[in-house]
Structure 1
Amino acid sequence: MDTRAPSSPSPDAGWRKARFGPSLPEVSRSIAVRSGSKWRRMAAFFGPGYLVAVGYMDPGNWATSLAGGSKYGYALLSVALISNIMAIVLQALCARLAVGSGRDLAQACRDAYPAPVAWVLWALAELAICATDLAEVIGTAIGLNLLFGLPLEIGVMITALDVFLILYLQNIGFRWVEAFVIALLGVIAMCFGIQIALADPQWGDVVRGFAPTTEIVTNPDMLYLALGILGATVMPHNLYLHSGIVQTRAYGETLPERREALRFATLDSTLALMFALTINASLLILAAAAFHETGRTDIADIGEAHTLLQPLLGAAIAPTLFGIALLCCGLNSTVTATMAGQIVMEGFINFRLPPWLRRLVTRGIAIVPAAGVTILYGESGTTKLLILSQVVLSLQLPFAVVPLVMFTRSKAKMGPLVAPLWLSIIAGIIAMIIVTLNIKLLLDFALG
């Protein structure tokens, strides 16, 4: 009698097309995880989640957090918490898709849908990547302006130089890219920690702010800001990014190895997103303590917030720390958005450019409109462009979230690592909520 274990189903079973190559081929499976103790294997997965977390605290989120904290104090902390829980679930599905099917989300869309559908999804994804990069470029330029007084036009052009930093770090090892991002996240956390200590918030009110209230729904202005925070939290490029960079780990092909990889990758992204919640909550708390409690309830502009921090907190270092945190957020976000752009282009159409050329093209698409608007309209124009970039991201989000939920629920596509029913139901509800809220944001934008 044949006592051999049954072979696992083909990784291409259930897909219209077979896989054509790994995601991010220059770093695919470059980090070993199959040796050493359990703790050592788990530590090998530490990193991708923090690259994903960058997208949840990027400059595009700052305006809504500043406006929400200054106008309503700590009340919208509950929205930040709920948004983060949604993000944790969706990013866990991204890790499951990567480990279960061996595909990133872009490759999965190409392999599951007819060519015309895949091309439309690719065009929408590229538009979202450009909008994401546009927000990061503007945020970095504003940070350089606040810290060094550089004109926004010059700051926009300087952001192109980080392309070479990314290339250098990736050439010496993907771990160096992760270390760079995590180091900047540490600086951001330190800056906000000092600013909150200077602001001395009402900690009882902070704790109560994490409990949802009916006022968020009944107050139209408050609801709009809440929708802005929620709608700008889950960004489509993070779904493509996470499903690609998880595969930089050489986790093996057996089912036990893949189950362990999924467990560790999910833990990494969950912890990283809790860190992102800490940063986003810190921004809300700072705005509430520094502005709302002093009667400045109309702050929504990043530059204005920077100017007012010193007189309100009574410390000359406060605005400097604010500018450093913004600059670090912008730099980190440009790194991850550019990597997401590479994953989208290669995954959807298997069009592989040299890494340096891909990054220059992606950055150029973002820099040209940003430079043009800043030259013509100045800071007010960049603020409007920042808002427009968030609207574009909202428009594309359903075309990334819905396929992700559908793929990970398909037994034919995922095999034994298919998402359990309870997880798919929760993810489906989250997808419906996000889609509904983003449609409302788009309607509000269209109606002025």
Structure 2
Amino acid sequence: MGWQVLLFISLLSLSVVHGQVSYLIPEEMAKGALIGNIAKDLGLGVERLKSGKARIYTGNTEEYIELKRERGVLLIKGRIDREALCGQTMPCALHFQMILENPMEFYTVTVEITDINDNPPTFEKSEMKYEISESAVTGARFVLEKAIDDDVGVNGLDSYALKPSDNFVLKTISRGDGSKHIEMVLQKPLDREQHEHISLILTALDGGEPQLTGTMQIVITVMDANDNPPVCSKPEYKAGVTENAPVGTAITTVRATDIDKGNNGIVTYMISKSGAAGLFEIDANNGLLTLIGNVDYEKRRIYELDVKVSDQGGLSDACKVIVDVTDINDNPPTINIMSNSNTVSENMKPGTVVTMLNIQDADSNDNGKVMCVLNENIPFAIKSTTNNFFTVMTDSELDRETASKYIITVTCSDEGVPSLSSSVTLTLQISDV
């Protein structure tokens, strides 16, 4: 099946068994396809999965994987599209837990999804038009539209080709972030009297097998007289914005100059295609970049915008604007009850686990660090077993004659300023012996 498995098992205190197993599978596997024998890989045995009523816990996320308890295996439950699930993020993985009862146990499962070459490179436009003066000097540069390929790694966008290449040659510039900036460079002077219109085909190729391609037509109308292209004042701008910034917030100003006079010296600004559609806008006349949508640090932390500057004669330059989103504490902790005992015997020993909780906080750094406490004067305690997981357990001996029922309030607070918190109430009956 092309998957691999890694296994790590450890015993934690409080009689809670915690283990970890990882699988590697390609995207787009058929429904019902085998991922792995989790019973064997964790050394549990199928009978333990049956007696423990083993089940998968995914929190609030969509379930793509299903557990066949009677066989002890994990299967594909629904179509997994790596691009829809993770976009350009690598690696792409599903994280969930397998829970067992009698005694309570949980195991962490990671399924990493690898990319297959199922997306060709595409251009936002099928055609780009340029008006270029016949006086344009050899070496004049014209920024081209970049292609987008949703695949990643070797299956992603690899190279470009421009044909025919009588007057223009394609130049590809690799940036430090791995992206490619493409230009066509004039290598032979234009002559409007010979060719007033020139048609070129720009082809984008990925690195997959078989190789996939996408094309765009470039139509050039040869005009008269524009000697100097606009030039950005710097190749890269860096700016920041908080995730609660209101619409209309000024981000930065991109500046470019053109030493030509008249209409040929007028510079206009535009944002090339990016993954930030509907969030940022640039003033075509003065280069002021403003916020026009709502940015969410938990969804995306950095935006890279390609800005094209053009003069009235069709010459252009390009620069990049990198916008960092700053986190604020706008998400309270989310308390998920993984497993809960409604009734316990009064002869339970101290340290017996009665509830397992999973705590999530979408914020980062101190804003996402969570501590949990219980209400006072009850014979129970709460402890953190691993990151984001807590257990509620008996802290002393129970006596049904003293108290036959306990109301346990779990309050979880983050370390943000101001701190945000959430609570959940548990009811526990004490049975007689």
TM-score for the superposition, normalised by structure 1: 0.20
Higher helix content, 1 or 2: 1
TM-score for the superposition, normalised by structure 2: 0.20
Q: Please say which structure displays the higher CA radius of gyration.
A: 2
Larger RCO, structure (CA 8 Å, separation 6 or more): 1
Higher strand content, 1 or 2: 2
